[in-house]
Amino acid sequence: ILQKIVPCLVSKTKRERQTPRLPSHRQRNPASDEKWGFKYCASDLLESGIELQVGSSTQGYLLEISFKAGVVIIPQVRIYETTSSLLRNLIAYEQCSLSSMHSVTSYAFLLKSLIGSSRDINLLRTRNIIEQNIRMGDKEYLAQFESILDQVAMKDDYCFGDLFDQVNAYRM
């Protein structure tokens, strides 16, 4: 069942058959102490001159995240009260699967690295990267991500390694 859910997450709203363009995976040097994710949260990235922009409506996959000319382009994500549970289950599946590309786990690491406080949530909501949900405030959004990756060990392959290197090296 979970094998059918992951493509639905990756293919945001499109129902036609398309092959998702997943980011290239990068092997992490096991001897390094680098952390997965951006070195700075969303508000710190903005203060350092890096813009955050919602992807265009033609951008149909949640994992199509790019960095061009100082702008991180992220497709809009919908967060509900059940998002944390869904992501935890998909992460657990990926952690147990030998053939998994760890795309959902990588995506959760990316979101968690952007979200450090309710200020970051507010920033992502005002830029429409996180879709407005009238039932949830900034604190509820933050609660969805505070402990989502507790006890999760990231494998050595990671979807957004090159993206993080580009952003972390830009004006930092």
pLDDT digits (tens, 9 = 90+) for 115-149: 888 899 999 999 999 887 778 888 887 887 777 77
pTM, to two decimals? 0.75
Alpha helices in 22-137 (DSSP H): 42-47, 83-96, 103-114, 118-126
Q: CA–CA distance from 114 to each of 18, 123, 152, 167 (Å)?
A: 28, 10, 17, 12
Q: CA–CA distance from 70 to each of 48, 52, 163 (Å)?
A: 10, 9, 12
| Residue 27 CB-density burial (10 A; 0-12 exposed, 13-18 middle, 19+ buried) | exposed
- What average pLDDT score do residues 47-66 get? 82
Q: What percent of the chain has pLDDT over 90?
A: 20
**Highest averaged pLDDT of the listed ranges 19-28, 109-118, 144-153:** 109-118
Q: Which residue has the tokens 């059940």?
A: 82
Q: Which residues make Cβ contacts (< 8 Å) with residue 108, sequence separation at least 6? A: 87, 91, 148, 149, 152
Q: Is the pLDDT of residue 3 over 60?
A: no
Q: According to the model, what pLDDT value does residue 134 have?
A: 79
Q: Is the pLDDT of residue 42 over 90?
A: yes
Q: Is the pLDDT of residue 108 over 50?
A: yes
- pLDDT by residue (tens digit) across 61-101? 778 899 999 999 999 988 888 888 888 899 888 888 877 77
